[in-house]
Amino acid sequence: MAKVSGGELLVRTLMKAGVTQMFGLHGAHLETIFQSCLDHSLPILDTRHEVAAGHAAEAYARAKNTLGVAMVTAGPGFTNCITSIANAYLDRTPVLYIAGSSGLAQAETNTLQAGFDQFAVAKPITKWTIRIAVPEQIPRLVAEAIRIATSAPSGPVLLDMPSDVLGAQVDEDAAKIPDTIVLDSPAAPTSKAVREILEILQAAERPAIMLGAGAWRSGCGDELKSFVETTGIPVFSDFQAHGMLPSSDPRYGGTFHKMDDLRPLDMQPDAVLALGVRFGLFTLGGERFVPASSKLIHVEVDPKEIGLLRDVTVPVVADSREMLKALNTASAKVKSWPDRSDWVRTIREMRKKRFSQFDETMKLTTPPIHPIQAVSAMVGNMPKDTVIVGDGAEAYHWMNEVIAQNQGGSYITHGFLGTVGMGLGLSLGAQIANPDRRVLCLEGDGAVGFTIAEFDTMVRHELPIVVVIMNNRSWAASQHFQEIVSGANRVIGTQLSDARYHDVAEGFGANGYHVTDIKALAPTIKEAFASGKPCCINVEIDLKPTPPELGMLMSR
């Protein structure tokens, strides 16, 4: 009877579940997994820091709408990845984290990279955590972990894998891999809810659709376009949902924050269909964007999210795609929908007016470069269908003013944890998930310092990511907060030096560029993408301006 290692069983189970990519950083505890990946030609993107491996797995999951897998070794390998685990937990990203640990036989021996309970540390920030103690149980428990991670509401799972369990040799017939691993049984709405929703949306004068990350995870892009085409209802989106209705569509209203410009009350939505939206930070509470007088239809897979911050007219615990499929079927029986052209025109004019505040700014020609000029140059000069990764407490808020995507899963940025410094890791996963598309990683100068060695990862794996650093020599969001709260003369611990980030990137083998003049930025961006190599563009920008979105958040 053939013998196989625990690591081999783990890899076979992952591959049967459809896993085609791993992210990680080697450690001795993981050796049997790495060797089995080599035997099965299962690629591993090896990073320079464990947290980057975790963030890469997150971005892969978010961009590809699938399971991400990250491997880290015991002790500091695990602790280095905790930020990614917590980030995935708060954003409900389906990532399987595999953490090596000391052998079961080494308990209480003061051995290497041990001495604390990884299981206990991970438990509060995962959907499920398991320490596998019997090698024959690896296939069954790995399959269970994958089901838990990918089932709604999705989220991270940690496998704590003792080295002697991974290294054990067992009879392969004694460790059968389950036939059913991934489940596909999304919750559908009731016919009563569908009728109520159609009645509300038909009667509304100013209906709107809000798309959250849950809508993207449901895979409802085609159903959404059909419903919008039939009803004419405009759409606002956030997170990976950007692009599910192309930004070029006249019925696309922009990010959630654009809804705040729909004032006074008679310009605000009077009915909102919220699909996969979690109200809170990114909606400025429950009623800032959806007024109390508006009828709210909230469709979410997690009942805890419904009614969390405000009353809901029609609560529906269901998958967004199943909801839209039911609405499309019912809509086919509706004789006609109201003409929404005036309402759509109001939203388009609102967007023009919002950007008009920068008309004079866009004409500036002297340094330093205004942030809105910088992000406009990026969006205007990157290749079609570029995936954008946004990182930096202020930088990504500037990008939100001009973001224009035509596919879902194409804008990957901060979530509820507000993790700064994850951009380079995210861009690795985004590029692996989209090998035929380009990736632009927007970084703040503070954020890029966390994992700047990942330029080496880009070079080693020939990932042609273009990183643009908005360099204002400051932790700008914190400095602006200090200036507002404590006074301009009370700034402390928030200023940075004029570091030559482009030279650092060149040291790792990437192309480096330094831009101080707005006229040089557009051609530099084009040159960087045309090079087909990893690139770092260090752009000196003005510190003084604050993004409109951030001003709204600070005013709460």
Q: What is the DSSP string of 499-554?
A: --HHHHHHHTT-EEEEE-SHHHHHHHHHHHHHHTS-EEEEEEB-SS---HHHHHHH
Q: What pLDDT shows up at residue 553? A: 64
As a dihedral over the C-alpha atoms of residue 322, residue 211, residue 296, residue 280, rounded to 10 degrees, the angle is 120
pLDDT digits (tens, 9 = 90+) for 308-331: 998 999 999 999 999 999 999 999
| Of 245, 297, 253, nearest in space to 276 by CA | 297
Provide the token pair at 91: 């954003």
- Write out the chain's pLDDT in tens, 556 residues: 699 999 999 999 999 999 999 999 999 999 999 999 999 999 999 999 999 999 999 999 999 999 999 999 999 999 999 999 999 999 999 999 999 998 888 888 888 788 899 999 999 999 999 999 999 999 999 999 999 999 999 999 999 999 999 999 999 888 999 998 988 889 999 999 999 999 999 999 999 999 999 999 999 999 999 999 999 999 999 989 999 999 999 999 999 999 988 888 778 999 999 999 999 988 887 778 898 899 999 999 999 999 999 899 999 999 999 999 999 999 988 888 999 999 999 999 999 999 999 999 999 999 999 999 999 999 999 999 999 999 999 999 999 999 999 999 999 999 999 999 999 999 999 999 999 999 999 999 999 999 999 999 999 999 999 999 999 999 999 999 999 999 999 999 999 999 999 999 999 999 999 999 999 999 999 999 999 999 999 999 999 999 988 766 665 5
CA distance 166 to 135: 7
Q: Identify the burial level of 387 via C-beta atoms within 10 angstroms of its C-beta, where 0-12 means exposed, 13-18 middle and 19 or more buried.
A: buried
CA distance 397 to 410: 16
Classify domain 191-348 by CATH number.
Answer: 3.40.50.1220
Active site residue 50: yes
Residues across the chain: 556
Q: What pLDDT shows up at residue 284? A: 83
176 DSSP 8-state letter? P
Cis preceding linkage at 367, omega within 30 = no
Of the residues 113, 118, 479, 482, only one is catalytic, namely 113
CA distance 253 to 445: 30
Q: At what angle do helices 50-64 and 82-91 cross, to 10 degrees?
A: 20
Q: How far is CA 253 from the centre of its chain?
A: 21
Active site residue 113: yes
Of the residues 27, 29, 155, 300, only one is catalytic, namely 29
Across the chain, mean pLDDT equals 95
What is the residue extent of each domain of the chain? 3-174, 191-348, 357-554
CA distance 37 to 41: 6
Of the residues 8, 50, 322, 549, only one is catalytic, namely 50
| Of 436, 415, 438, 412, nearest in space to 425 by CA | 412
Q: What pLDDT shows up at residue 333? A: 87
Written out in words, the top-level CATH class of the domain with range 357-554 is alpha beta
CATH superfamily, with its number, for domain 3-174: Thiamin diphosphate (ThDP)-binding fold, Pyr/PP domains (3.40.50.970)
Q: Do domains 3-174 and 357-554 have the same CATH topology?
A: yes
Of the residues 280, 380, 418, 532, only one is catalytic, namely 418
Q: Where are the beta strands (DSSP E) in 427-476?
A: 439-444, 466-471
